[in-house]
Amino acid sequence: MHTGGFAKWTRRFEDERERRDAQGDPDWGRSAVLHPAVWAGIQRFQVGEDGDGANLVGKADRAGDADYGQAVRLFVAEEQNHARLLARLLAAGGVPTLTGHWSDAVFVRLRRLMGLRMELLVLMIAEVVALRYYRALRDGTDDPLTAEVAGRILSDEQRHVPFHCERLHASLAELPRPTRRPVMELWRLLLLAATLVVAADHGPALRRLGVGRLRFVADVMTSSHAVVSAVLVPCPDAWTSAG
């Protein structure tokens, strides 16, 4: 099966890891001050970042593209680094991390039943919602440590979305052509449902960050159009020029 040139993604992830190592961590000595509703949101996202990477790596390896398998390992390491950064941020504010919510355990089990394509579609929902959330966190707070952590995570997430788009394009190409767009329309419906849940759950925190619930949902749904086109008709240059 031809899945395209994932060696370039491995290189991008490796370059980023080098840059990260050279840059070092934010200065955790500063304390972080945020509204309790915003802390509660960060606690929930911290648990979400701390996902089940081994599961995805296994599926990527079975997909039979060594470059892709390697890129997925580097991707998982970045997500684990997000969980670590958010845990350190919580510690800087004297706020504890949450132990997993029961819904996370159910979600991990559900994901084990999925193939790579389904897993990436579900993962992409989390990534697209996360993009808008970390942007709100970066731009909506006057706490410098929080803005720095959110900015670092956001720039990683901006790389994750086109990475998954490229693999999903190959996965969808295995389906009969007339079914591809309906699959992505269904994906947008699931994205809408998930975004409505997040907006309801995180409403007070989003308001503190200057983003109303409806605004949040509208922005996520607008950004989903670029994802759907990238999956159906890949155009890697569009992503690079958009930064």
Footprint on this chain of Fe ion (rule: CB under 5 A): 49, 79, 82, 127, 157, 160
Nearer to Fe ion, 134 or 212 (CB): 134
Write down the least CB distance from residue 153 to Fe ion, Å: 6
Handedness of CA 42, 43, 45, 46 (dihedral sign): positive
Residue 137 to residue 143: CA distance in whole angstroms: 10
89 neighbors 32 (Cβ within 8 angstroms): yes
Residue 103 or 174: which CB sits closer to Fe ion? 103
Tell me the closest approach of the beta carbon of residue 161 to Fe ion, in angstroms.
8
The residue to which tokens 């994750």 are assigned: 160
Least gap, CB of 182 to Fe ion (angstroms):
26
CB of 4 to Fe ion, least distance (A): 20
Report, in Å, the least distance between residue 213 CB and Fe ion.
22
Q: Least distance in Å: CB of 236 to Fe ion? A: 18
Please say which residue, 82 or 152, places its beta carbon nearer to Fe ion: 82
Name the residue nearer to Fe ion (CB basis): 111 or 142.
Answer: 111
d(CA 89, CA 87): 5
- Quote the tokens at residue 25: 């961590």
Tokens of 30: 């500063």
Closer Cβ to Fe ion, 159 or 188, answer by number: 159
Q: Which is nearer to Fe ion, 74 or 235 (CB)?
A: 74
Side-chain half-sphere CA neighbours of 198 within 13 A: 27
Q: To 5 degrees, how large is the angle CA 104–CA 78–CA 210? A: 70
C-alpha–C-alpha distance, residues 217 and 199, integer Å? 7
Comparing CA positions, the residue from 211, 230, 227 lying closest to residue 219 is 211
